[in-house]
Structure 1
Amino acid sequence: MKYILIIFSFLLIGCANNKISGIYLISDNKICNESIKIELKKDSFFIYEGVNLKGKGIYKLIEDNSNTYLQMNSIEGLYKRDSIIIQNYGNSMNEFVLFSECDAKYLYFIKQQ
């Protein structure tokens, strides 16, 4: 039974990994002009500001109960139904800014068809 659960978990992560590849655009381009491209080849990701490459690296999918998280270097977001939700900045107790060009606290990236 334990081996069946391990194999099933592996298959679920593999399915999520296949679905995640694509181009994700910010839901409201008035906030900023960021986009994320995710490729299955070598689990690569690329972050663009407009057409300029801003960052790249290797991504990881992390399964936690019923949630799937996408980790891209120091950026972590929630992956849900063809969208990525990233907390862009913290608060006075935990100060950080991920995308300084974007004013919104939460950034919603939607996968393009």
Structure 2
Amino acid sequence: MSNHIASIRELIALWPTRQELVNDLGKRGFDVTLGRIHKWAQFGSIPAKYHAATTACAQARGFSFTAEDMAWIHHAPDRSTPNQEPSHDNPHANTAPDAA
């Protein structure tokens, strides 16, 4: 993984405001509402049809974030839930953040 973003909420928080993410996606032809962005953060998931555009928006802002990162954070254990074991199917599980 190219960075330390561990959740959808952390990805969304890279933008100065959620409205700016809405605006960035709008520039790429996606009619996304602020309410939808709030739901993504709340549920920890971005629908697949928005993955490429959200990744491109992140990269356009200079964030170190890739399609691999998007896939990883959708399959990573929820870091906000205590005592959740990491998935052994995840190639990034049990690696130090700087080792990936």
TM-score scaled by structure 1? 0.28
**Greater gyration radius:** 1
TM-score scaled by structure 2? 0.30
Of the two structures, which has the highest relative contact order with CA contacts closer than 8 Å and spacing of 6 or more? Answer: 2
When you count strand as a share of all residues, which structure comes out higher? 1
When you count helix as a share of all residues, which structure comes out higher? 2
